[in-house]
A and B are shown apart, each in its own frame.
Chain A
Amino acid sequence: MQQFFIVLCLVLMVVAGGAAVMLRSMLKSTISLGVASALLAAVLFLLGAFWAAIFELSVCSGLITVVFVSAVSLTNSDRKDEEHVKEHRARVAALPAILIFAGASLLFILFSHDFNIVISSTPASFAAFKEALWSLRQSDILGQIIAILAGTFAVIVLFKERDNI
């Protein structure tokens, strides 16, 4: 049963990802990306990665969607003029065919060879997770701090001082 839900969420995620490419309205496309993200969070949860799922749901599907929605509204890029819409539609029309072809070929290759990957699917205990994050990954925590600093300076340069020149 759990396996069925994983497969269902994955299929829906690919559909939502494809929709984010295909949809001509930028706003709908952004929301579609958020939906794909939420479905990915569900998959992570079903695979036993509880904390990663929470992060994916709140940050990727929440925060990033907000960032994109603001970017879309600030750039007014949701142009709906007829020519533009037609052009976008024509340029991405091949995507479903490519996806179906690629997916079918990979599945065929995977099943036609003697190659097996088994998911052990043992959720990590909180103690193990805490140990891994705080004892083993000191350099990543340092990296996160520096990355956040970099992001802060980026926002200062790109937004705060833009109008001064």
Chain B
Amino acid sequence: MITFATISFLGLPLLAILLLNVVSKKTGGAISISVGYVVAIIQMIAAVVCMALLWMHGKDFIEFSLFWDMNATLGAAKLSVDLFSLVVLFCIGMVSLASLLTAKKTIGEKTLNYTNLLMVIMLGMNGIAVVTDLFSLYVFLEITGIASFVLIALLNDKRGLEGAFKYLVMSAIASALILGSFALIFTQTGSLVYGDVAKALADWRNAQYAPLLIVGFVMFIAGFSIKAGIAPFHGWLPDAYQSAPASVSVLLGGIVTKMAGVYALIRVLNSVFVAMPMINNTLLILGLISIVFGAVAACGQKDFKRILAYSSISQIGYIILGVASGSLLGFVGAMLHFFNHATFKTTLFVNSAAVEMQTGTTDIDQLGGLQARMPVTAVSSILAFLSMAGIPPLAGFWSKLLIIIAVWQSVSAVGGGIALAASIFTAAYFLILQRKVFFGPLEDHLTEVTEAKGTISLAAVLLSIVTVAFGVLFPVILNFLHLQGIL
């Protein structure tokens, strides 16, 4: 049972790729989206099963291998899942499902290519979640990157190709910085397995090659800041989100940047660079800049997807802030905000896809009064935005609260205060967007618009239910945290 569940994270998408490409191209195209549904749903179930098994056996993590058993080999790059990776594996399944539901209506002829690449990007992200070795982390980061460039350029239109090329260049710089930093760290440690590196770096100030390590840390932070789109390194992110096809924007905004940048960063901070105040403080400042900059910049945008992209920069700042606070409470808050952000940002991108499909544009100046014509989209986007702005009792409020408390307690009241104040800007761009797109008088050319039927509305409804239910049930989690002595 446990072997099956863990192996499915990497084995199942591979199997799906094999299945889709051995059958004829026509059949492959016809069944591809359904196969994708199955893979995404099984991944969500497997993640929940693994969580239950972890809890039942009282273990912290499960180690597993794919081709041949590696537990006997010393210094091997093993695969392992713990609670945090299971939460993100669940998110990957959920966002992939939402992306597939959106793609069913919007992708047109390209279903086979889209599903193949979606499986590859899922493999890449699942790999990031389960590896325990810095070099393997780099390998899967690159796989995720390659698949996302091609997905952005999937329709071969001018804008998509342009966004893909910009993303590729920034991502290549980030990869060079990240791998360079790993090489410098490897000079000192002689191994890149998380545990070994953490041990070797425990007393890094007195290490033989300490100057190389300092250069390595700087390159590491810069590289991951680019990958995560943290503010001053965010240049590529709005372009990539805006230019991608609707269903790919859902995927990118919902999970890809968060896996490639934020999750990988958190994982390395927690298991490798344990207790390094220098790195934490840098990230704290970057997180605060990101929160404020993203929120302010979002207020000045004219495109639905671009507003969402800048709001991602701001929300990712909160996740980074929670982790950089260095306390367990901050980490839990970051993990929960990761999940919440995956839910509400995916909802909003699904909504933008619905608006784009029905009206043909995402320019907010050309939209208006869609509330009456597209009620499901309007309501789900309001719920998602309320959650993002931190209005109780929706899920976003609780995770933001935990992060701000953590920062307030363990770092400084000023940081917590800035983070709190920036929430007001979230409400501001939310109001701008809602007023221009959904409220107000209906624009003349939009009188024929109808609600997006079928799977897109289904995705929006399902995700809204998750947002609301998670928020309402949150006191249970708070109680659990209290019992554990974290809160």
Point out the residues of chain A lying under 8 angstroms from B146, CB to CB.
Answer: 147, 150-151, 154
Q: Are B67 and A138 in contact (CB under 8 A)?
A: yes
As a 0/1 sequence over residues 144 to 157 of chain A, the CB contacts with chain B under 8 angstroms (1 = contact) are 10110111011011
Is A88 interfacial (CB 8 A cutoff)? no
Point out the residues of chain A lying under 8 angstroms from B14, CB to CB.
Answer: 146
A117-B17 Cα distance, complex, nearest whole Å: 47
Is A79 interfacial (CB 8 A cutoff)? no
Q: Are B135 and A140 in contact (CB under 8 A)?
A: yes
A157-B79 Cα distance, complex, nearest whole Å: 31
Q: Are B150 and A158 in contact (CB under 8 A)?
A: yes
Point out the residues of chain B lying under 8 angstroms from A150, CB to CB.
Answer: 117, 120, 124, 143, 146-147, 150
Is A142 interfacial (CB 8 A cutoff)? yes
User: Contacts A136-B75, A137-B77 given: A157-B154 contact, CB under 8 Å?
Assistant: yes
Partner of A143, one of B140, B187, B212: B140
Is A111 interfacial (CB 8 A cutoff)? no
**Could you tell me how many residues of chain A have their Cβ less than 8 Å away from some Cβ of chain B?**
26
In the complex formed, the residue of A with least CB distance to B154 is A157
Q: Are B120 and A146 in contact (CB under 8 A)?
A: yes
A114-B68 Cα distance, complex, nearest whole Å: 47
Is A76 interfacial (CB 8 A cutoff)? no
As a 0/1 sequence over residues 19 to 62 of chain A, the CB contacts with chain B under 8 angstroms (1 = contact) are 00000000000000000000000000000000000000000000
Q: Are B77 and A140 in contact (CB under 8 A)?
A: yes
Is A139 interfacial (CB 8 A cutoff)? yes
Point out the residues of chain B lying under 8 angstroms from A165, CB to CB.
Answer: 155-156
Please report whether the interface of chain A is mostly helix, strand, loop or mixed according to DSSP. Answer: helix
Partner of B139, one of A113, A117, A143, A149: A143
User: Contacts A138-B77, A143-B127, A150-B150 given: A157-B139 contact, CB under 8 Å?
Assistant: no
In the complex formed, the residue of B with least CB distance to A152 is B116
Partner of B67, one of A142, A147, A151: A142
As a 0/1 sequence over residues 50 to 87 of chain B, the CB contacts with chain A under 8 angstroms (1 = contact) are 00000000000000011110100101111100000000
In the complex formed, the residue of A with least CB distance to B131 is A139
Point out the residues of chain A lying under 8 angstroms from B70, CB to CB.
Answer: 135, 138
Q: Are A138 and B150 in contact (CB under 8 A)?
A: no
Is B358 interfacial (CB 8 A cutoff)? no
A87-B75 Cα distance, complex, nearest whole Å: 53
Is B10 interfacial (CB 8 A cutoff)? yes
Point out the residues of chain A lying under 8 angstroms from B136, CB to CB.
Answer: 137, 139-140, 143
Is B209 interfacial (CB 8 A cutoff)? yes
Is B441 interfacial (CB 8 A cutoff)? no
Is A115 interfacial (CB 8 A cutoff)? yes
In the complex formed, the residue of A with least CB distance to B77 is A139
User: Contacts A139-B127, A140-B136 given: A149-B17 contact, CB under 8 Å?
Assistant: yes
In the complex formed, the residue of B with least CB distance to A132 is B75
A157-B14 Cα distance, complex, nearest whole Å: 19
In the complex formed, the residue of A with least CB distance to B210 is A115
Point out the residues of chain B lying under 8 angstroms from A141, CB to CB.
Answer: 67
Q: Are B66 and A117 in contact (CB under 8 A)?
A: no
A141-B77 Cα distance, complex, nearest whole Å: 11
Partner of A138, one of B17, B68, B142, B147: B68
Is B113 interfacial (CB 8 A cutoff)? yes
Point out the residues of chain B lying under 8 angstroms from A146, CB to CB.
Answer: 14, 120, 123-124, 127, 143
B333 to chain A, nearest CB (A): 30
Q: Are B153 and A142 in contact (CB under 8 A)?
A: no
Is B133 interfacial (CB 8 A cutoff)? yes
Partner of B113, one of A135, A142, A153: A153
Is B211 interfacial (CB 8 A cutoff)? yes
Q: Are B120 and A139 in contact (CB under 8 A)?
A: no
A140-B127 Cα distance, complex, nearest whole Å: 10
Point out the residues of chain A lying under 8 angstroms from B153, CB to CB.
Answer: 157-158
B198 to chain A, nearest CB (A): 18
Q: Are A147 and B75 in contact (CB under 8 A)?
A: no
B108 to chain A, nearest CB (A): 10
Q: Are A138 and B120 in contact (CB under 8 A)?
A: no
Partner of A136, one of B77, B140, B142: B77
User: Footprint of A on B, CB under 8 Å?
Assistant: 10, 14, 17, 65-68, 70, 73, 75-79, 113, 116-117, 120, 123-124, 127, 131, 133, 135-136, 139-140, 142-143, 146-147, 149-150, 153-156, 187, 209, 211-212
CB-CB nearest 3 A-B residue pairs: A143-B139, A139-B136, A154-B150
Residue pairs across A and B with Cβ atoms less than 8 A apart, 28 shown, are A115-B211, A135-B70, A135-B73, A136-B73, A136-B75, A137-B135, A138-B77, A139-B77, A139-B133, A139-B136, A141-B67, A142-B66, A143-B136, A144-B139, A146-B127, A146-B143, A150-B150, A151-B146, A153-B147, A153-B150, A154-B149, A156-B113, A157-B154, A157-B156, A158-B156, A161-B113, A161-B156, A165-B155
